[in-house]
Amino acid sequence: MDQICAAAEATKGGLYHHFSSKEELYLAMLIADLQEKKELFQRSVHSDGNCRERLRKLTSDYLRLPREKRELITLVRRDINVFPLSIRADLVRAYQEALPEQVQSILQDGIRNGELADADARLRSWEFVALVEVLLSPYAEQAFPTVDAKLDHVLNLYFGGATSSPTPPQAS
């Protein structure tokens, strides 16, 4: 709490006036971050272009966020069981609205426009999100040192399968 107060240039009393506990502050931070990401990703959903171009924009926007902002979303999965069931449901809902549902919307358009085979867009959105999350690992950072290399890899893998990816990582 001391570090948070220093970063926020606030007193502990002021902080506890707005948040009754560290858990409440942590939850508010996660929810606010997910709302920001939802608004960012909605721009891709509503942008021009085909399915692949819009997924590239959404993923690029995410990968170009500062590391701290990218990593906040991983805390939701890590800490979800810390919260009581009612709060957990709200947090899961905020996560789903922020990311998988934005991807799902793009994929539904791709299916409707014949760019993708008919499939469960919700399940496919989770598959895409999982592919992107792998790119956040330290090994992936070495294998694909630029955002464009990461984007090319994940999009080629998603749209073409493992046999068509032209940018395999170099063994180290």
Q: pLDDT tens, 78-88?
A: 888 888 888 88
Q: Name which CATH class applies to 37-164.
A: mainly alpha
Question: Taking 80 as the threshold, does the pLDDT of residue 94 lie above it?
Answer: yes
pTM, two decimals, is 0.83
Q: What is the pLDDT of residue 131?
A: 94
- For 128-167, the pLDDT digits (tens) are 999 999 988 889 999 999 999 999 999 999 999 888 655 5
pLDDT in tens, 36-57: 999 999 999 999 999 999 999 9
Token pair belonging to 36: 């920001």
Q: What is the percent of the chain where pLDDT is above 70?
A: 95
Residue 22 and residue 17: Cα distance in Å, rounded? 12
**pLDDT at residue 3 in the model:** 72
What pLDDT score does 158 carry?
Answer: 95
Which has more pLDDT, 11 or 47? 47
Rounded CA gap, 51 and 59, in Å? 12
Give 94: exposed, middle or buried? Use CB within 10 Å, 0-12, 13-18, 19+.
buried
Query: Quick one: 73 exposed, middle or buried, by C-beta within 10 A (0-12, 13-18, 19+)?
Result: buried
